[in-house]
Amino acid sequence: MLSPVEWKIRGGRSLGPAPFLVFGIVNVTPDSFHDGGQYMQLDQALAHGRMQAEAGAHVLDIGGESSRPFAAPVSLEEEKERVVPVVEGLRDLHCVNGMPWALSVDTYKAGTAAAVLEAGAQIINDISAFAFDPALLDVVAQYKPGYILMHSLGRPTEMQKAPEYGNVVEEILDFFEKKLKELTTAGVPEDRIMLDPGVGFGKTLEHNLAILRGMGRFASLGLPLMAGISNKSMFGMLCNAPAGQRQNATQAATAILAARGVFAHRVHDVAMTVQTLQVAQALAM
């Protein structure tokens, strides 16, 4: 069996103990790499969120700015206009599969984070580790949401230009240790923090594979781990799978990562992922 994990979010609520956590992606963007533009209208986004919940998502992760390589940034006001109504429209959903319901927002902006937390979100998923907007650290310390600390080698506009590491796993581990100290010193409880090594964010295929093979090193920090690998271009390079045909590779990697201790899985196809994780749980020794 997969070892149960518990993660605290805003208000001291717990997600878990559970063998896995599924984040269903709700992109309110015109340019995300997999489904950009499909859910730009509020009614479309709300319907998609409800569908993800019915399929078994424990968390909906709402994003108003694409973080794909070379994506253009979005202003604070435009991002809030995209995501706050979605949070307000989904915040009253009931529990899923016996686990408390939660909403996450994918943002690195302090102003957006404060607005969505006031609107009812309980989790902030930050690709920047509060580097792009240092005021985000103060917001996280004040509201104490669940906080996903992710590694990225710079902003999306530049991160894939020429990423280099000596040892990618050890460098990310050092990065996590430094950022965890900053978070806890600022007053963020350690039990609110989840770690995401940021597959595809300033990494080559070789870097990504090394990270996925080395997940056990990040688990040594004693915090829940997230994998954000759904339909990513690494599978196109690895399997010669074009966009729209990477579901099988995504599910195979998800099952292996769950067996290696990854708790949270951020995905486009919730129903398929839930099946994959149920099988992984049943077969785990």
φ, ψ (nearest 5 deg) of residue 149 = -95, 110
- Measured between its terminal Cα atoms, the distance across the chain in Å is 6
**Candidates 10, 109, 192, 266; catalytic one:** 266
Give 225's strand partners.
Answer: 195
Measured between alpha carbons, how far is residue 230 from residues 49, 51, 227, 270, 276 in Å? Answer: 17, 18, 9, 10, 13
Q: Are 252 and 205 in contact (CB under 8 A)?
A: no
| Whether residue 232 lies in the annotated active site | yes
**Candidates 10, 144, 155, 232; catalytic one:** 232
Tell me the C-alpha distance between 136 and 138, whole Å.
5
Measured N-to-C along each axis, helices 42-54 and 76-90 cross at an angle, to the nearest 10 degrees, of 50
| Whether residue 260 lies in the annotated active site | no
The identity of residue 263, as a single letter, is F
Tell me the C-alpha distance between 110 and 128, whole Å.
12
Supply the residues annotated as catalytic: 232, 266
